[in-house]
Amino acid sequence: MAVKQKYVGMTGNEAVANAMKQIDPDVIAAYPITPQTDIVQYYSQFVADGEVATEMVTVESEHSAMSATIGASSAGARAMTATSSQGLALMWEMLHIAAGDRLPIVMPVVNRALSAPINIHCDHSDTMGSLTTGWIQIYGENAQEAYDNMIQAVRIAEDPRVLLPVMVCYDGFITSHAVDNLELIPTEAVKEFVGTYKPQRPLLNVEDPITVGALVLPDYYTEMRVQEAEAMGRANDVILEVAREFERLSGRKYGFFEEYRMDDAERVIVVMSSTAGTTKAVVDQLRAKGEKVGLLKPRVMRPFPAEELVKALSGAKAVAVMDRAETFSTQGGQIFTELRSAFYNSGTRPLMRGYIFGLGGRDTTTREIRKVFADLSDDLSKGRAGRFVGYLDVRV
Amino acid sequence: MTKEKGYKDILQGGIITKEGSSIAYRTGEWRSMKPVWNKDGCVHCLICWVFCPDSAIQIEGGKMTGIDYDHCKGCGICARECPRKEKALQIAKE
């Protein structure tokens, strides 16, 4: 029986700040960057008003933010930070350190395009550029999901089988700054769900002194990396376990991805975050006309749930994978590439084509989504993907 | 010769649990120049000890007793700072 929740109207950032408030981490070390800034603004107000016990450290850059968060987490604190785009890029070396040191840091990343050119609007190039850091990545469609993912992320990160940091990603401006409806879980229930952080070997324990982040030579580096990779593998089960427990608490169901009207879908769009919401509206429109279309909305990008995705999509005849970031591989977007790879050994494969869309906050409306479904119809009639990869909306 | 540990046996995150263990690593083996101490010329001002970046000047009871060649990297700062110069500390080829 789900707990009674409070129905509110909040922006994504405010919802995430509230999730953090309910979790009440020991330390937050953060630096502002659009469109993350108001998470930290709201949180600073909570600290100033004495509503949380968090030690807030205002650092001079995102590199320092992650460094301070790593230090706090190593010391034994439940530590968080938040960032976007260039901020994530600036802390790039520290991201690897957080994961390599096996620290359960949770960090909201408000997806914003990377420079150059400078752009403050939404695309996924920031977090797509951090896929190999060892961080778990979970993407949310709207304010509710961003809020829910924050709470689950703490349990996923701190699970002794995992002990890896988690990025909770959601769209800049679209989700972060638009007022949305969501349900807030009561604070006591959130605290009970996340529990108290029990660090295994905190630096601050002088009875059991340790060194964190030492040098490793060629004879041991591989073993350490493999240990980390296996933890990422174990995260699969933990993500689903936490989601099941969260469903009992909130009544909302989560998994590796969401399947929307996929049962007998022949043409499927695979797309993450807010654009999935737009796609749902188009799926409903087309389904009303009898068209067999569906949406698969990836939620977990790291670890990549290849097996489950193949299973979910094997009934489809034509799939369009929409990526909101360029990889410069010349072979398409990240999700497209990884999904194709997942299908390599499959007997039946749907036709698959890739789109790169929404870069730098380019608006993606129901019109563009309808065009994708129409392209898929075209592919089906021709028996092959008409185009390998392309840009959804570009002026030539 | 101890067997190297497999990835399942090493501590998570590669933490080191023995305090002061870096002393076991003989950075002195990297040397190409080495300081030579002349006990009789030394006035025990301890300036070399203050400056040594590797804590390789050995002290006991407020007096210099020698150089820790296991950890001295031969940077020569001690000889440069020594007020007695060659009378107390000289840098020679390793």
Tracing tokens 């939620």 back to the chain, one arrives at A299
**Closest Cβ–Cβ partner in A101, A223, A226 for B13:** A101
Binding-site residues on chain B for chain A (CB distance < 8 A):
4-8, 10, 12-17, 19, 21
Kindly identify which residue of chain B lies nearest to residue A162, measuring between CA atoms: B12
**Bridge partners, A6 (sequence order):** A184
Domain assignment present for residue B10? The answer is no
Residue A1 predicted with pLDDT over 80: no
pLDDT for B4: 86
CA atoms within 13 A on the CB side of A292: 11
Domain assignment present for residue B12? The answer is no
pLDDT tens figures, A383-393: 998 888 899 99
Contact A226 B7 (CB under 8 A): yes
Domain assignment present for residue B72? The answer is yes
Query: By C-alpha distance, which of A276, A390, A347, A364 is closest to A268?
Result: A276
Query: By C-alpha distance, which of A134, A124, A40 is closest to A95?
Result: A134
The structure's pTM equals: 0.93
CA distance B84 to chain A (A): 38
pLDDT for A234: 98
Domain assignment present for residue B8? The answer is no
Query: By C-alpha distance, which of A74, A344, A303 is closest to B14?
Result: A74
Residues of B in contact with A101 (CB under 8 A): 13-14
Instruction: Write the single-letter amino acid at A198.
Output: K
Residues of A in contact with B8 (CB under 8 A): 227
Residue A228 predicted with pLDDT over 90: yes
Domain assignment present for residue B79? The answer is yes
Could you tell me where the DSSP H helices lie in chain A?
12-23, 37-48, 62-75, 85-90, 92-100, 125-128, 143-158, 187-194, 221-250, 274-288, 306-313, 334-342, 366-382
Instruction: Give me the number of domains chain B comprises.
Output: 1
Please give the Cα distance from A188 to B20 (Å, whole number). 44
Largest CA distance in chain B: 55
Domain positions in chain A: 6-250, 257-391
Domain assignment present for residue B21? The answer is no
**Closest Cβ–Cβ partner in A102, A209, A223 for B19:** A209
Kindly identify which residue of chain A lies nearest to residue B6, measuring between CA atoms: A223
Contact B7 A200 (CB under 8 A): no
pLDDT confidence tier of residue A304, bands split at 50, 70 and 90: very high
Tell me the average pLDDT across A341-369. Answer: 95
Q: Do A257-391 and A6-250 fall under one CATH topology? A: yes
Residue B14 predicted with pLDDT over 90: no
pLDDT tens figures, A245-260: 999 999 999 999 999 9
**Closest Cβ–Cβ partner in A101, A208, A227 for B7:** A227
CB A204 within 8 A of CB A27: no
pLDDT confidence tier of residue A290, bands split at 50, 70 and 90: very high
Kindly identify which residue of chain A lies nearest to residue B8, measuring between CA atoms: A227
CA distance B30 to chain A (A): 16
Please give the Cα distance from B43 to A145 (Å, whole number). 72
pLDDT confidence tier of residue B12, bands split at 50, 70 and 90: confident
- Domain of B60? 26-93
Residue B1 predicted with pLDDT over 60: no
pLDDT confidence tier of residue A320, bands split at 50, 70 and 90: very high
Tell me the average pLDDT across A215-229. Answer: 94
Residue A158 predicted with pLDDT over 90: yes
Residue B3 predicted with pLDDT over 90: no
- The complex's ipTM works out to 0.76
**Closest Cβ–Cβ partner in A163, A200, A223 for B6:** A223
**Chain mean pLDDT for chain A:** 97
| CATH class (in words) of the domain with range A257-391 | alpha beta
pLDDT confidence tier of residue A96, bands split at 50, 70 and 90: very high
Kindly identify which residue of chain B lies nearest to residue A231, measuring between CA atoms: B12
Domain assignment present for residue B19? The answer is no
CB A87 within 8 A of CB A33: yes
CB A270 within 8 A of CB A316: no
Residue A226 predicted with pLDDT over 90: yes
pLDDT tens figures, A24-61: 999 999 999 999 999 999 999 999 999 999 999 999 99
Q: Sort strands A136-139 and B57-60 into parallel, antiparallel or unpaired.
A: unpaired
Residue B2 predicted with pLDDT over 70: no
Tell me the average pLDDT across A275-293. Answer: 98
pLDDT for A45: 97
Residue A328 predicted with pLDDT over 70: yes
Domain assignment present for residue B60? The answer is yes
Instruction: Mutate one of A158, A161, A210 to test the B interface: name it (highest B CB count within 10 A).
Output: A210
Q: What is the CATH number of the domain that holds B62?
A: 3.30.70.20
pLDDT for A386: 82
Burial (CB count <10 Å: 0-12, 13-18, 19+), residue A109: buried
Residue A219 predicted with pLDDT over 90: yes
CB A74 within 8 A of CB A203: yes
pLDDT tens figures, B18-61: 888 889 989 999 999 999 999 999 999 999 999 999 999 999 99
pLDDT tens figures, A123-147: 999 999 999 999 999 999 999 999 9
**Bridge partners, A30 (sequence order):** A58
pLDDT for B20: 84
Kindly identify which residue of chain B lies nearest to residue A216, measuring between CA atoms: B14
The fourth-level CATH superfamily of domain A6-250 is Thiamin diphosphate (ThDP)-binding fold, Pyr/PP domains (3.40.50.970)
**Closest Cβ–Cβ partner in B7, B17, B19 for A223:** B7
Phi-psi label, residue B88: left if phi above 0, alpha if psi -120 to 50, beta otherwise: alpha
